Structure 1
Amino acid sequence: MDFQESEIQHATKFTVKSGAQTASINVYNSGKLHVEGKVSELKNWLEQLKESIEKGSGGPVALLPAEIEKFPQTLRDRVPDCDDVVLWFFQEALRCYKADSVAGAAFMLGAASEKAVLLLIDGYVAAIADEGKRNALLTRLNNRMISKKYDEFKASYNGCKSKPNDQALAQDLAQLLDGAFNFYRHTRNAVGHPQIVPDLEKGVILANLGQFIIYVERIYMLMRHFKASGVVV
């Protein structure tokens, strides 16, 4: 089978071809999966793959278009300047997943996400042209938990007059970053706060391990934009 990967609104679409048959499976930022295409053996196979992923029954690792072992190298290729801490926690998340520790994978993925978002916020603040506004935002960010820092960053960014013109990148804060950031944070908190046994689906965690690469790539694209163009608020 041949496949092509493309980005659509709120999801990554994998279009699969086998002979004359074509079907696709969409992996949404929330972790949900949706199969599309005409009735065929190929579509039936994708439906079985979807069910296998959602149940965490073991098959998806071998069936992923990009093998899970290649994820760290894919991240390095797409984000050559990726921070070592982000990469280390991402690799630990993969090790946990392959060891069948879904909770460990969720926790490590949340840590990797937090570091990436902190780098994004730091890059944004450093690029603010007006010193007074930069210092005011720094004061609001000081000693706050990650969720509050992200809220302060978003509130400032909403009034930013120097947002990127690229349509996909301009929409990513609300569409991809918000959804992914909150998913990674909530799943990590579900593990890190031992009030109840966390309800984590192995297939959803796997889907978001793959989505993490795109998430970090967008974060670094925004960071480069802030550095090159400055931030006017």
Structure 2
Amino acid sequence: MSNGDEKVCDTVKDSLIAHKIDFAETDIQHATKFTVKSGSFLASINVYSTGKIHVEGKASELKTWLEQLKVSIEKGVGGPIALLPAEIEKFPQTLRERVPDCDDVVLWFFQESLRCYKADSPAGAAFMLGAASEKATILLIEAFGNAIIDEKQKSSFFTRVNNRMISRKYDEFKASYAGCKSKPNDQALAQDLNQLLDGAFNFYRHTRNAVGHPQIIPDLDKGVILANLGQFIVYVERIYNLIHHFQENGVNL
């Protein structure tokens, strides 16, 4: 039997388990201590025999979440919002490591998207992620055009894509790439356009438009947005792999 109030201890434990948070339960004098860990963050929430709850630890997102849990239990209003996985904090660093020459604008909008997600604004996150995707796609299209070996074909390509909406630019790029005679020999990279980039580009564009065109209230799932924040790193990495291929090998149409 726990030293802390049994009902409150069960509520704390159920919340930690539901949010998949690592914890260890130990009895201390007149209380039960739940030592909680998320990534490099460590904090604790103590439940006393009187039912009183006390949160300890250095200032961090984890401690803030535990304080929200404390308030929610005391007010009987349910649990706090889901805790951000520690890995999410590493997303910008991971993108920089995997794509060292990533454009600053892409990075900025990606970081803004992450900030929106952390602020519980999936609509803001979707919009910023769509902007980051658009910039990365524009860089891909420009790299492809600049690498076209034949000057007349290059001029014709830029005439078709300049001053067009991003969806039209992308369609023109896809059509030209389909006839490219200097595609990558690596099958994974050669198939990226249709298998990965196409789907990701359209998802990011559509969710951005759902927010940016105020016709209806957008139906955005926060879990889906989170998954696509993680997928964005792979998406940009593949885009830059194609950019490097075009720059190193030229484009022969």
TM (normalized to structure 1)? 0.73
CA separation in 2, counterparts of 1:151 and 1:136? Answer: 15
CA shift for structure 1 position 88 = 0.1
CA shift for structure 1 position 143 = 1.0
Please give the per-residue CA displacement for 1:36-62, whole angstroms capped at 9, x wherever unaligned: xxxxxxxxxxxxxxxxxxxxx944732
CA separation in 2, counterparts of 1:87 and 1:140? Answer: 28
Please give the per-residue CA displacement for 1:18-52, whole angstroms capped at 9, x wherever unaligned: xxxxxxxxxxxxxxxxxxxxxxxxxxxxxxxxxxx
Which residue does the alignment assign to 2:51? none
Find the partner of 2:84 among 48, 61, 69. 61
Extract unaligned runs of 5+ from structure 2: 1-79
Matches within 5 A, 1:1-233: 58-59=81-82, 61-62=84-85, 67-233=87-253
Amino acid at match of 2:198: D
Please give the per-residue CA displacement for 1:98-120, whole angstroms capped at 9, x wherever unaligned: 00000000000000000000000
Which of 1 and 2 has greater Rg? 2
Please give the per-residue CA displacement for 1:171-230, whole angstroms capped at 9, x wherever unaligned: 000010000000000000000000000000000000000000000000000000000000
Amino acid at match of 1:178: D
CA separation in 2, counterparts of 1:100 and 1:82? Answer: 27
Instruction: Give the % identical residues.
Output: 78
Amino acid at match of 1:157: Y
Q: Does 1 or 2 have the higher relative contact order (CA < 8 Å, sep 6+)? A: 1
Coordinate RMSD, CA, aligned: 1.1
CA separation in 1, counterparts of 2:217 and 2:226? Answer: 19
Amino acid at match of 1:125: G
Aligned residues: 174
CA shift for structure 1 position 123 = 0.2
Amino acid at match of 2:103: D
Amino acid at match of 1:159: G
CA separation in 2, counterparts of 1:60 and 1:199? Answer: 22
Amino acid at match of 1:86: V
**Secondary structure in 1 matching 2:181:** coil
CA separation in 2, counterparts of 1:226 and 1:148? Answer: 21
